[in-house]
Amino acid sequence: MRHFIIDTDTASDDAVGLIMAMRYPGVQIEAITVVAGNVPVDQAVQNALYTVELCQQSIPVYRGMSAPLVRPLFTAHFVHGQDGMGDIGLPLAGRRPAAGHAVDILVDNIHRFGGDIILLTLGPLTNVASALQKDPRIAGEVRECVVMGGTGRGHGNITPVGEYNFWADPDAAKIVFESGMRLKMVGWDISRTYAVLNPQDTADLRGFGTPLAAFCVDIQATLTQFAMNQSKLQGFDLPDAIATAIALEPEVATETRSLFVAIENESDLCRGQSVVDHYGVLGEEPNTEVVLNASRKRFWDMLCDAVRPL
pLDDT in tens, 49-103: 999 999 999 999 999 999 999 999 999 999 999 999 999 999 999 999 999 999 9
31 pLDDT exceeds 90?
A: yes
Give how many domains the chain has, as a whole number: 1
Confidence class for position 114, pLDDT limits 50, 70, 90: confident
Average pLDDT of 141-155? 97
Q: What is the pLDDT of residue 96?
A: 98
HEC assignment per residue over the chain: CEEEEEEECCCHHHHHHHHHHHCCCCEEEEEEEECCCCCCHHHHHHHHHHHHHHCCCCCCEEECCCCCCCCCCCCCHHHHCCCCCCCCCCCCCCCCCCCCEHHHHHHHHHHHCCCCEEEEECCCCHHHHHHHHHCHHHHHCEEEEEEECCCCCCCCCCCCCCCHHHHHCHHHHHHHHCCCCCEEEECHHHHHHHCEECHHHHHHHHCCCCHHHHHHHHCCHHHHHHHHHCCCCCCEECHHHHHHHHHHCHHHEEEEEEEEEEECCCCCCCCCCEEEECCCCCCCCCCEEEEEEECHHHHHHHHHHHHCCC
pLDDT in tens, 182-216: 999 999 999 999 999 999 999 999 999 999 999 99
Range of weakest confidence among 85-94, 164-173, 227-236, 272-281:
227-236
Average pLDDT of 248-270? 98
Structural domain of 294: 2-307
296 pLDDT exceeds 90?
A: yes
Range of weakest confidence among 131-135, 227-231, 245-249:
227-231
End-to-end Cα, the chain, rounded Å: 20
Q: What is the pLDDT of residue 141?
A: 98
Q: What is the pLDDT of residue 90?
A: 98
Confidence class for position 231, pLDDT limits 50, 70, 90: confident
- Residue 270: count other Cβ atoms within 10 Å of its Cβ: 17
Average pLDDT of 271-297? 98
Q: What is the pLDDT of residue 232?
A: 87
Q: What gap in Å lies between CA 244 and CA 8, rounded to an integer?
A: 11
Residue 290: CATH number of its domain: 3.90.245.10
Q: What is the pLDDT of residue 269?
A: 96
Confidence class for position 310, pLDDT limits 50, 70, 90: confident
Q: What is the pLDDT of residue 83?
A: 98
Task: Tell me the pLDDT of the chain averaged across its residues.
Answer: 97
230 pLDDT exceeds 90?
A: no
